[in-house]
Amino acid sequence: MMRANSRWIKRSAVVAAGAAAVVTFASVPALAVSLSTTGAAGRSAYLGNGDYTLYARDTLSDGHCAQWQYKEPGGSWRSAGSNVCSSSEAVGGHAHSGFQIRICRTGVWNCSGAYTL
């Protein structure tokens, strides 16, 4: 009888540890996403504590720039930071988990589809 209880306790511990690992993995946010539209491209990088840095680059050299925008739940679209007018990747802004983000092209205002962080 003691041996059966010991096996049951070991199995329960293995199942509990596995379930905890799955819950922990499921609660980690996506660490990066890449978005683009004609003339603008960018990616997010997860910093921790729900914060993201948004990197952008201008894929055309016609006087327009790449700009990240974010929208808080229930809010409207806003600039997430600085315009990036170079083909070299640069920080274009910051956003937080739960915000929607998109990358746009200044002047012509074509934007990528939105993505929720």
CATH number of the domain that residue 89 is part of: 2.60.40
Measured between alpha carbons, how far apart are the two ends of the chain, in Å? 52
14-28 mean pLDDT: 45
pLDDT at 19: 44
- Which pTM was predicted? 0.74
pLDDT of 21 strictly over 50? no
- The mean pLDDT value of the chain amounts to 84
Tell whether 66 and 110 lie within a shared domain: yes
pLDDT at 22: 39
pLDDT of 108 strictly over 70? yes
pLDDT digits (tens, 9 = 90+) for 39-70: 999 999 999 999 999 999 999 988 999 999 99
81 Cβ contact partners less than 8 Å away, ≥ 6 residues apart? 54, 68, 91, 92, 93, 94
Count: domains in the chain: 2
Tell me the residue range of the domain where 2 lies: 1-29
pLDDT at 10: 58
Tell whether 12 and 64 lie within a shared domain: no
